Amino acid sequence: MIAVAGGKGGSGKTTTTLGLARALSRRGAPVVAADADWDLPNLARLAAETRSEGPTEAGAEGPTEAGAEGPPVGGDRHADGSDARTVLDAVRGTEPVRPGRSPPTVLAAPDAPRSVDADATFDALDGMTPEGAPVLLDSPAGASPDVAAPLRAADRALIATPLRRAALRDAAKTAAIAGRLDCPTVGAVVIGETDVPDRVGTLLGCPVLGAIPDGGAVPLSDPSVRSAYDGLASRLGETAAASEWQIA
């Protein structure tokens, strides 16, 4: 599992989680993207709102399967406004996680997160996903104490950050927290830029794997943004963290 983390809210974590999940799916990987930011859950909602911009855009149209990126037929709407199954549904076996190769499976936050043991849930999720399936966790902001649970469960962290001094400083702190929780940082992705100074990797203590251009109000609809996430998926796939993933 890879925890997509950032220094503060608005750093691009959720967009990166979904954009990267879709990019990996376009490469043939059976991807699971789970919302681990339970106080501010919006991963499933973003997936539903931008579904037409996902990997299915180049393929044949058809009904969305339960557990894929969108509502199951007859599904109930969750607290975050989505119809997707929740992380808790997945670990309880209510709806087993069987990710296909397109689109990625998106798991929403639990409806009553404060009644759920986050550490146990993310540990169980790792065991409920098929071997070789990339699992991405959309994590809380690095300053939040809730970020510890996904970082403890994940094998690696991917740091998402804008190229601003304060944001970079907070991102470096998040990378340090991840290291202390035995979740080494696999790399960083810089949001809203096309060129990244070499010193950014030095500051964060990890390689910069990608730079995502500013795609405006709906970045995942921008072809240049999707292309940048494809490049990020390719470079991430070359790291040791992805050595057992089923990607083309």
All structural domains of the chain with their residue ranges: 2-242
Which one has a higher pLDDT value, 231 or 69?
231
Residue 71, classed as helix, strand or coil, is coil
Token pair for residue 89? 């549904």
Residue 83: band (very low, low, confident or very high) from pLDDT cuts 50, 70, 90? low
Please tell me which residue, 8 or 109, carries the higher pLDDT value. 109
Whether the predicted model's global pTM rises above the 0.75 cut: yes
C-beta atoms surrounding 97 within 10 Å? 22
Contact between 82 and 51 (Cβ < 8 Å): no
DSSP letter for 6, please. E
Instruction: Find residue 131's DSSP bridge partners.
Output: none
**What CATH class does 2-242 carry?**
alpha beta
Consecutive H or E run containing 22 = helix 13-26
Q: What are the DSSP calls for 128-180, one per residue?
A: HSPTT--EEEEEEETTSGGGHHHHHH-SEEEEEEES-HHHHHHHHHHHHHHHH
Element (H, E) at 105: strand 105-107
Task: Give strand pairing partners of 136.
Answer: 2, 33
| H or E element in which residue 204 lies | helix 199-204
Lowest mean pLDDT among 20-24, 82-86, 142-146: 82-86
- Within 10 Å of residue 180's Cβ, how many Cβ atoms? 9
**Contact predicate 23/230, CB 8 Å:** yes
SS3 assignment, position 65: coil
Tell me the per-residue pLDDT of 65-82, one tens digit each, with 9 for 90 and over. 334 444 433 344 455 555
Tell me, what's the pLDDT at 76? 46
Give pLDDT, residue 131.
Answer: 85
